[in-house]
Chain A
Amino acid sequence: MNWGIILYAILYAAICLGFAPGGAWAHAGLVETRPDDGAILEHAPGEVILRFNEPVTPIVVRVFGPDGLEVALPARPTVVDRDLRQPLPADLPAGGYLVSWRVVSSDTHPIGGSFGFAVGTAPPAQVRGGEPSGREAWWQSAAMINRFVGDLALMLVAGGIMCLVFVLGSTPPPNLRLGHWFLASGTVAILSAVLAVGLAGGWLLNGHASAILDGATWAMGASTPVAWRALATSIGLLAAGIGLFLRSRTAGAVVAVAGAVIAVAAVAISGHVAAQEPAWLSQPVLMFHAVAAAFWIGSLPLLLVVVRRENAATAARVLRHFSGLALPAVIVLAAAGICVAVVQIGTIEALVGTKYGRILLLKLGFVLLLLALAARNRLAYTPMLAREHAAAAHGLRRTIRAEIGFASVILLLTAILAHTSPETPAAGTHHHHGAPADGYIAEIAGRDLTLRIRIMPAAIGTNEMTIELTDAAGGPVRALEARAEFSLPAAGIEPLVRSLTETGTGTYKVDAVSLPRAGLWHLRVEILISDFDKRTFEFELPVH
């Protein structure tokens, strides 16, 4: 295990989380690479060399091959003075390659970038389209299943504690079995939250499954927000556990509920919903959504026990009390859920047209079923139970069990959604997406300059990018310089920088940009209007 890397990863995490003024130490810089960016080589190189203007410590170097998959590298990079050397496997097949690097300079400032080269005499003859690589899919599925198990356990324990305090009005747990139930689901929730850190790291590094035992994988995971979520969930659940057994019942109830709420609200720390702008809206809304859901789902097993154990009158009283609290909770849940969905999806078109939208619709369907069951409990069975109708308890037990089943399916769909990209355009810009056959077309109107961009075919492999600059009156605008940066943060691909060449008045072009992976790429275009005036445009570019 390399402690240096771990240390830097933690430091990097702190920087990413916004403790630091961005870019304040912009000192180290890449001076040159071997092979050159864009070089076409007759023979495959044995290594790539990156020369910096000062000594650096490598964090990660990744190479993507002509098939769009990451190339397994024979060894870690070594640094001698200002040169970073990354050995390559022998006999790389012909085709285009992308090298993505990230290093820390001696002043602890992390910097990264990408460059490309091709092997073979012909220009980069890329590439096939395709799904994420097998290994990436493996990490993603593992993270998804872990998320489902963890979320379910978390909702059961945290929601159960809320139900215990608010509905049953009793702490500590009235019997040992309930204590064991909380202990078991709480333990699963914490273990899963911790495992999520390793899986997040594994997904980023995209190594073999055994990398989960590697310290560097965990260090990479620790540099993501998932680590903060794990920390908040664990602390919240431990606090809740302590609160349950405090001698002072009032203080105990307060601590237990606060801990449970913190543990659940931690979902707002990570994930693309939490990252969706505006964050001030997305994050609190997500918290309310999760806490309300936890209360509902976590209450169900406790209610099941009440219906089974208690006499009809007591059970009816408890159920009515629960309904009184559950109704506002469901309203909060639905309102927050709709709010998140609107921000994430935006249009009806996207709701039906994207994978994310369709899974969301499926989730919504199960939510409606769940609501129907809950309404039946409240409107039909509970009054029957109060009248000590014989069939009531049996019917209630059956519908509560069904509710638990549906809730689990909903959580599974939620975990799948969490690992599906919603593909919404960047906030605050006016995008017009073309059909995939037309590539990607978008337009952003700035203060005094409008940029129209077209990327063909917006697919894995070689892409052509053209831009058109116009002023407020629609006339063409000439730029001194235009450059574009392509990055894919989700796959750890650092910015690949390309200069555009002028093809006509106000139109610029890059012939061949090699994009090795599918996903939502971040595209930043910088237009230099005069020596002293620059405009920056940012796009989210879906690559299929």
Chain B
Amino acid sequence: MVRRSIGAAAVGAALLSSSLAFGHVTLEGAEAPAGSYYKAVLRVPHGCAGSPTIRIRIRIPDGVVDVKPQPKPGWEVATVVGKLAEPYADHGRTVTEGVREVSWSGGRLDDAHYDEFVMRVKLPNRPGEVLYFPTVQECERGVHRWIEIPETGRSADDYREPAPAVRLVPKR
């Protein structure tokens, strides 16, 4: 009982002091410099109510280009290429197509285990903006859709399955 009380008190203190979402699929590092290359690390802390994760899909937000997922042993990486919402210039040529979606499948991440899925992207030069990477976590049984994008005036904490996000800060 005493130990449980202390545990509860510790958790209470943690609740008061932090808004880290341990139970959510999130991006490591809440901020990144705008206009820079960014290593996006997607953290997956659990499966779907006990069921292991077998596929991760990430939708690339508009303005994010030059997407390169990092291969992962035991997983098959795939990308969906499509028209970009905003074509951009790269060394004198205009780029109109790019990666719109990245997925890792074929693996098996147990509910009791933790893993990370990594890609390198170039962020748009729009400091102050928050970019959302809606993510679908498919499990052997069930699915988590981390796709909720907060409406103005609300924060990710108001949602059950918020989309992983990164805030763009001015370039140093």
- A residues with a Cβ closer than 8 A to B are 3-4, 7-8, 11, 14-15, 19-27, 29-31, 52-54, 107-109, 528, 531-534, 536
Q: Do A31 and B157 touch across chains, with their CB atoms under 8 A apart?
A: no
B157 and A22 form a contact (CB under 8 A): yes
Chain B residues whose C-beta falls within 8 Å of the C-beta of A23 in the assembled complex: 23-24, 157, 159-160
Contact yes or no, B136 A532, CB < 8 A: yes
Q: Provide the residues of chain B in CB contact with A20, threshold 8 Å.
A: 15-16
Contact A532 B15 (CB under 8 A): no
Query: Is B126 at the interface (CB under 8 A from chain A)?
Result: no
Is the beta-carbon distance between B147 and A24 smaller than 8 angstroms? no
Query: Does B90 lie at the interface of the complex (its beta carbon under 8 Å from any beta carbon of A)?
Result: no
> B5 — which chain A residues lie within 8 A by C-beta?
7
B50: Cβ under 8 A from any A Cβ: yes
- In contact, B11 and A534 (Cβ under 8 angstroms): no
In the complex, how many angstroms separate the beta carbon of B54 from the nearest chain A beta carbon?
15
Query: How many of B's residues come within 8 Å of A, CB to CB?
Result: 33
Are A26 and B23 neighbours in the complex by a CB distance under 8 Å?
A: yes
Cβ-closest 6 pairs across A and B: A29-B49, A53-B50, A21-B157, A20-B15, A532-B134, A21-B19
A-chain residues with CB within 8 Å of residue B20 when the two chains form the complex: 24
CA distance in complex: A190, B58 (Å): 56
Within 8 A of A (CB), among B47-64: 48-50, 57, 59
Residue numbers in B under 8 Å from A533 (CB-CB):
134, 147
Q: CB-CB < 8 A to B19: which residues of A? A: 21, 24
Q: Which residues of A contact B159 (CB under 8 A)?
A: 22-23
List B contacts of A11 (CB < 8 A): 8, 11-12
* Most chain B CB neighbours (cut-off 10 Å) among A26, A109, A528: A26
16 A-B residue pairings within 8 Å (CB atoms): A8-B8, A14-B12, A20-B16, A24-B20, A24-B24, A26-B23, A27-B22, A107-B22, A107-B23, A108-B7, A109-B23, A531-B136, A532-B59, A532-B145, A533-B134, A534-B147
> Is the pair B145, A528 in contact by a Cβ cutoff of 8 Å?
yes
Q: Does B15 lie within 8 Å of A19, measured CB to CB?
A: yes
Query: Judging by beta carbons under 8 Å apart, are B49 and A7 in contact?
Result: no
Contact B147 A26 (CB under 8 A): no
Residues of chain B lying within 8 A (CB to CB) of residue A21: 15, 19, 21, 157
Instruction: Give 5 A-B pairs besides A27-B23, A108-B7, A531-B59 with Cβ atoms closer than 8 angstroms.
Output: A7-B4, A22-B157, A108-B12, A532-B59, A533-B147
Max chain B CB contacts within 10 Å: which of A15, A21, A25, A30? A21
| Cα distance A121–B7 in the bound complex, in angstroms | 48
- A107 touching B157, Cβ below 8 Å: no
B157 smallest CB distance to A (angstroms): 4
- In the docked arrangement, what's the CA distance between A31 and B1, Å? 28
Contacts of B147 in A (CB 8 A): 531-534
**B39 adjacent to chain A (CB < 8 Å):** no
For residue A11, which residue of chain B has the nearest CB? B8
Q: Are A31 and B24 neighbours in the complex by a CB distance under 8 Å?
A: no
**Inter-chain contact A14/B15, CB cutoff 8 Å:** yes
Judging by beta carbons under 8 Å apart, are A27 and B46 in contact? yes
Of A4, A108, A528, A532, the most chain B CB neighbours within 10 A belong to A532
Residue of A whose beta carbon sits closest to that of B145: A534
The answer for the CA separation of A53 and B48 in the assembled complex, in Å, is 9
Query: CB distance B12 to A531 under 8 Å?
Result: no
For the complex, what is the distance from the CA of A25 to the CA of B59, rounded to whole Å?
24
A127, chain B: closest CB distance, angstroms: 31
> Across the interface, do B15 and A22 meet the contact criterion of CB distance under 8 Å?
no
Q: Using a CB-CB cutoff of 8 Å, which residues 1-40 of chain B contact chain A? A: 1, 4-5, 7-8, 11-12, 15-16, 19-24
CA distance A170 to B8 in the complex (A): 49
Are A4 and B15 in contact (CB-based, < 8 A)? no
A330 to chain B, nearest CB (A): 36
Measured CB to CB, the nearest residue on chain A to B5 is A7
Given contacts A4-B4, A7-B4, contact A24 B22 (CB under 8 A): yes
Minimal Cβ-Cβ distance residue in B for A30: B49
Residues of B within 8 A of A107 (CB): 11, 22-23
How far in angstroms is the closest Cβ of chain B from A536? Answer: 8
The minimal Cβ–Cβ distance linking A288 to chain B, given in whole angstroms, is 25
A410 to B8, CA, bound (A): 45
